[in-house]
Amino acid sequence: MELGRLTPIIFTLASRNLFHDRIRLVATLVGIVFSVVLFTVQLGLFLGFERMITTMIDHASADLWIAPADTKGFEATALLEGRERFRALAVPGVADVTPVVIGFTFWRKPNGKSQTPVFLIGTTPGGLQPWNLIEGNLSDLSTPQAVAVDRSYFDRLGVAEIGDYGEIGDKKARVAAVTKGIRSFTTTPYVFMPLDRARAYLGLPSASATYFLVRIAPGASVNEVRQRLQAALPNLEVITSDEFRRRSRSYWLFGTGAGAALFGSALLGIAVGTVIVAQTLYSSTKDHLSEFATLRAMGSSRRYLYLTILWQALLTAIIGFAIAAAASLGLARLTAESALPIVMTPGLIAGLFVLTVAMSIVSAISAIVVVTRVDPVTVLAR
C-alpha cells in the first residue's frame, strides 16, 4: 500500500496512542514546554545582552574609533590625553574627530542617604548623544547641571520626573531629558551629559578623552584613512565600528564567561526535555507493545510502525511548541521594559520549532528500538 494512502491511518493510530493516556501526555508536554521555554529564555537573554553590549557603538556617529591600546570593549578601556585629536585632524581624509568621555561613578539619591553606581557618557554635538528622547530635548542638556537618564532607571536613581535632582560626587545633577530603552547589560544606569560636565564629574583633565570618533571626508576610503591614522598614532588602536562590535561581544559574552553560562543553561533545558519525551514515548510504546505485535502479525511493515511512532513524536512536538512559543512571547513582552529584556526574533522562533521537532524525533528512537524487537509470535502466544 502506498505511503500516501497509509498516512491518514498512521496519523489516526498515532493520535489515538498519544491521547489515550492524557496524564502521560500532560507530563510529556510539561517536559517539552519546560525545556523549550528555558532554552528560549537563555537565548533571548543572550540576544538581549548582545544588543545592549553594542548599543553605544551602534548609535555613535563614527566611521572609525581611536581607542587606547588593547581596548576590549566599550566600557573596559583607559584614558587618552587629548593631544591625539589634533594629530588625527591633520591626517588627510579625516573630516571630524569628536571626543567622548566615559566612566563609572556614583549617583547619590535626593534623600542623601543612599547611592548607586552609574555610567557617565559625555560628548559634544555630533558624537555619542542620547536617543529615543520621550521628554526634554538635546538642547536642554546645555543648561547647568543637566543630564539625561532612561526612564527604566528612575527607581534606581530615586527620581520621578524631569527637574528632580541627584548628586554625582559632590556636584548636583538635574534630570533635564528622559530616554526610553537605553539600558546597560551590566544594569548600571547610563547618564548622558555634555563633554566638559562629564570631565568635571569624573575629575578628569580638561583635554582628556576615552575615545575619539572619526568621520571621514566624502569620497575618502575608510581603509586608507585608517592606515594613515594608525601610522600617525602608533601607540593607539584605530578600529572600525564593526570590529569594535565583534571585540566587545567576544569580551563580554565569552571572555567573562557570561555567554558560556547562558549556553550551558540552554543545553541543560534541551537535555531535560529530550529525556522526558524519550521516557514518555518509550513507556507508551511498551504499553501498546501487544498492539504493535498484532500489526506485525497482520503483515504491517516495520516502516509503518516506525512512521506511527514518528508521527506521535511530531504531534507531541507541535503541541508542546505552540504552548512554549506562546509562553516565551509572553515573557518577552513582560520583560520588554525591564533592565534585562528577553529578545524574541522570527529567526529564533523558527529555530526553536526545528529544535523541538528534532528533540522529539531523537526521543522517538528509544521507542523505535523497542518496536524493532517485536516478535509477531508473541501475539499467538497469548
> What three-state secondary structure class fits 120?
strand
**Of the candidates 115, 128, 39, 52, which has an alpha carbon nearest to the alpha carbon of residue 338?**
52
List, in sequence order, every beta strand (DSSP E) within the chain. Answer: 64-68, 94-108, 115-123, 133-135, 146-150, 165-168, 171-179, 190-194, 211-216, 236-240
Per residue in 232-242, pLDDT (tens digit) is 999 999 999 99
What whole-number distance in Å separates Cα of residue 63 and Cα of residue 61?
A: 7
The C-alpha cell at 183 is 539600558
Q: What is the pLDDT of residues 127-158, one digit of tens each?
A: 889 999 999 999 999 999 999 999 989 988 98
Q: What's the CA gap between 172 and 107, in Å, rounded?
A: 10
- Confidence class for position 276, pLDDT limits 50, 70, 90: low
Residue 233: CB partners within 8 Å, gap ≥ 6? 66, 84, 87, 88
**Grid cell for residue 337:** 521594559
pLDDT confidence bin for 190, thresholds 50/70/90? very high
What are residue 98's DSSP bridge partners? 213
Predicted model pTM: 0.73
